[in-house]
Amino acid sequence: MKIKFLLLFSAVAISITACAQKDNSIEKAETTIEHEMVVEGLEIAWGMTFLPDGSMLITEKSGEIIHFKDGQKQQVTGGPEVYARGQGGLLDIILHPDYEQNGWIYMTYASSEGEGEGGNTAVMRAKLDGTTLTNQEVLYKATPNTTKGQHFGSRMVFDNDGYLYFSIGDRGETYTNPQDITKDGGKVYRINEDGSIPEDNPFVNEPNAKTAIYSYGHRNPQGMILHPETGEVWVHEHGPQGGDEINIIKKGANYGWADVTYGENYGGGAISDETNRDDVEDPIHYWNPSIAPSGFAYVTSEKYPSLKNNLLVGALKFQYVEHVVIDGTEVIRREKLLEDVGRIRDIVQAPDGDIYVSIETVGIARLVEKETTNTEE
């Protein structure tokens, strides 16, 4: 009887420890981070990337591409025709890892190309000639088109092997798209740089499967990074009311939505009675209540010693940057930076180590870590 009690006590202790790892309390900032405006007069700067000369390419969700150089904004022509509805429009933008050799720029956007009304997420690459995009190639276009305005996903990253990963949200089809590998939506995809499908993608031999799919069961990932030490792709994604998640992407893995979730319906009521399952990958962290995460960075820069080797996440809902302190894959502390500055849409660490944040209806700001003075000497 005593042995049974000890085993029961141990199981309870383990359960309590596991719950503690999902602690969603947020602490007063120990970090003194300020910001200075760099690019003003923007509406929804959804994505940004940096050219080798230090200038910046910026996507406005409305469809404009801006080249910010020497303090001036120049309009870039030749961009894709976007389906601007709800959360859709011109979205992420990144450079090919060998940009200086090949000149490829990659963009995601909502596109009405194809059959049916509405639009869905597309991936394009192009080259920049002065202030004009040339050599446009559509690499992927999700189907079917729909007039629903939510959940286009659209973050991108290249891994160390040169594969391009991108996300597409469930497009509002909660109970059909995410768990069905024959349908686009609610997935993370992996393609070659030219849009072809890698031969070792997990579902290339599955009948009728969308062979670009790398993982499934996602809701709406709007943050994606390549972990600089492990080479893993990490995403964060929107939950409904609660249940935003950080996930490490694994080949062929199911991340649960909407069968398994920590969130609930807007206005209350369960979506699912399961928060974990043996065949579903657990998040390494989830938020409850939801912060509506967008923009994601792993800080490696020496310019921010208090942030280095940790995560930054934009909080659309609460209008701050969240500093997520990690130990390996465990979140050990969270703190708010830049409180009440506005809805944070994107966060990018530039090649020179400076970190930039896109603030909706405000513009793009550079983070500055304020030096502390030792007064005890």
- The answer to whether 338 and 321 have CB atoms below 8 angstroms apart is yes
What span, in angstroms and rounded, lies between the C-alpha atoms of 9 and 361? 53
Amino acid at 84: A
Confidence of residue 276 (pLDDT cuts 50, 70, 90): very high
**Which residue, 147, 102, 150, 159, is CA-closest to 125?**
102
Task: Express each pLDDT in 220-230 by its tens digit.
Answer: 999 999 999 99
Domain segments of the chain: what residues? 26-41+297-377
Confidence of residue 376 (pLDDT cuts 50, 70, 90): very low
What span, in angstroms and rounded, lies between the C-alpha atoms of 87 and 309? 31
DSSP secondary structure string for all residues of 200-253: T-TTTTSTT--TTEEEE--S-EEEEEE-TTT--EEEEE--SBS-EEEEE--TT-
Q: What are phi and psi of 16, to 5 degrees?
A: -65, -40
pLDDT at 90 over 70: yes
What span, in angstroms and rounded, lies between the C-alpha atoms of 108 and 125? 9
Which own/partner pairs from 182-186 qualify as long-range (CB within 8 Å, at least 24 positions apart)? Answer: 182/208, 182/209, 182/210, 183/210, 184/120, 184/121, 184/142, 184/143, 184/210, 185/120, 185/142, 185/151, 186/216, 186/217, 186/218, 186/219, 186/257
Catalytic hit among 35, 96, 151, 238: 151
Looking from the CA of 73 toward its CB, the CA atoms found within 13 Å total 15
- Pairing type for strands 355-359 and 344-349 reads antiparallel
Catalytic (active site) residue 96: no
Percent residues over pLDDT 70 in the chain? 92
Map tokens 């940004």 to a residue. 48
Partners of 208 in the beta sheet?
A: none
- The answer to whether 38 and 364 have CB atoms below 8 angstroms apart is yes
pLDDT (0 to 100) of residue 374: 42
DSSP secondary structure string for all residues of 238-263: --SBS-EEEEE--TT-B--TTTS-S-
Residue 149: other Cβ atoms inside 10 A = 18
pLDDT at 22 over 70: no
What span, in angstroms and rounded, lies between the C-alpha atoms of 350 and 209? 37
**Which residue, 262, 47, 239, is CA-closest to 151?**
239
What pTM was estimated for this model as a whole?
0.93
Task: Express each pLDDT in 306-358 by its tens digit.
Answer: 999 999 999 999 999 999 999 999 999 999 999 999 999 999 999 999 999 99
